[in-house]
């Protein structure tokens, strides 16, 4: 993609996702993800209806009239986007590839965080850490993240969720809001997920294409593995083959739901044919 086309695409995504974050998700994001606590701001005169537990007795005694302490939420938060860029994310049969949906969801979350003056960071992973952008604030930083999501070419097409979670634990010292975006067609990440979910506010967003759930009946056809690149001839009319495929797919999906929920992490599944806007909004409102 040349520079002009890339900038045009970045701008298009910015307009769409920023509008969503400003008008749809802003309030829900703020309400869903609380700050680290309450910090003292000022004292003011007592007003009818104020909580008597907030009275500052030292100031009250000094001025001989009641004053209360005012606290503000400490909003300084960090949002980390951990995005799968392996080969399977380039799959798509209808209007959009999975990676395009992942990019729009990530951009919407990033602009929601920007609106709340939170830092945003990015980790792109396959079976290795492909790219790490440390958390920062500002529109130009968010635009850089969108550019990488659109243009980055991974070195590997394989997937290893555990490696991404391990890396995250190493670079984030304080609690953060973590959104992991993938199709979660992987296993062996039970231990690292438990550690990450204990330390951070973790949500897994599974983006999938309905066509992936079942093998279409096309006879004996060559199929290329999106991650390994290997080509195998598959008899799609074979009941044994189709059942094996469906079993594998359902096991990975069930594992995603079970492991995340068992460890207190959030989950959200979105088809490329569905509105991720409704899905995200529903998720935020359910957590408030």
Residue (of 190, 207, 170, 169) closest to 262 by Cα position: 190
Tell me what pLDDT residue 109 has: 93
Put simply, whether the predicted model's pTM sits higher than 0.85 gets the answer no
Q: d(Cα 257, Cα 268) in Å, to the nearest integer?
A: 9
d(CA 128, CA 163): 6
**Backbone φ, ψ for residue 126 (5° rounding):** -125, -110
Mean pLDDT of 144-158: 92
- pLDDT of 232 > 80? The answer is no
Please compute the mean of the pLDDT values over residues 196-213 and round it to a whole number.
Answer: 91
> pLDDT, tens digit, for every residue of 97-145?
788 899 999 999 999 888 888 899 999 999 999 999 999 999 999 999 9
Give the 3-state secondary structure percentages of the chain, helix then strand then coil, rounded to 5. Answer: 45, 25, 30
Structural domains in the chain, CATH included, are 3-31+76-287 (3.40.50.410), 37-74 (no CATH)
Nearest partner of 182 among 75, 76, 113, 256, judged by Cα: 256
239 contacts: CB under 8 Å, gap ≥ 6: none
pLDDT by residue (tens digit) across 5-55?
Answer: 777 888 888 888 887 887 667 677 777 776 655 556 678 888 888 888 889
DSSP string across 63-88: HTS-EEEEEEEE---EEEEEEE-SGG
Q: Which tens digit of pLDDT belongs to each residue from 46-78? A: 888 888 888 999 999 988 999 998 765 556 789
């Amino acid at each position: 993609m040349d520079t002009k086309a890339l900038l045009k695409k970045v701008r298009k995504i910015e307009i769409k996702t920023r509008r969503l974050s400003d008008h749809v998700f802003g309030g829900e994001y703020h309400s869903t993800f609380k700050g680290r606590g309450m910090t003292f701001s000022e004292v003011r005169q007592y007003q009818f209806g104020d909580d008597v537990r907030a009275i500052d007795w030292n100031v009250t005694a000094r001025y001989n009239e009641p004053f209360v302490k005012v606290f503000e939420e400490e909003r300084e938060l960090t949002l980390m986007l951990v995005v799968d860029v392996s080969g399977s994310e380039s799959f798509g049969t209808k209007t959009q590839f999975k990676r395009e949906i992942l990019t729009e969801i990530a951009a919407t979350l990033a602009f929601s965080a920007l609106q709340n003056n939170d830092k945003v960071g990015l980790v792109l992973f396959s079976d290795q850490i492909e790219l790490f952008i440390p958390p920062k604030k500002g529109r130009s930083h968010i635009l850089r993240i969108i550019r990488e999501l659109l243009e980055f070419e991974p070195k590997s097409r394989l997937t290893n969720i555990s490696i991404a979670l391990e890396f995250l634990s190493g670079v984030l010292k304080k609690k953060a809001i973590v959104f992991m975006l993938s199709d979660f067609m992987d296993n062996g990440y039970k231990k690292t997920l438990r550690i990450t979910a204990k330390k951070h506010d973790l949500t897994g967003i599974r983006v999938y294409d309905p066509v992936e759930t079942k093998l279409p009946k096309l006879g004996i056809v060559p199929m290329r593995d999106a991650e390994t690149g290997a080509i195998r001839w598959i008899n799609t009319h074979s009941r044994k083959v189709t059942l094996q495929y469906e079993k594998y797919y359902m096991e990975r999906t069930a594992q995603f739901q079970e492991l995340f929920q068992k460890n207190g992490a959030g989950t959200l599944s979105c088809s490329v044919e569905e509105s991720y806007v409704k899905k995200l909004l529903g998720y935020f409102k359910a957590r408030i």
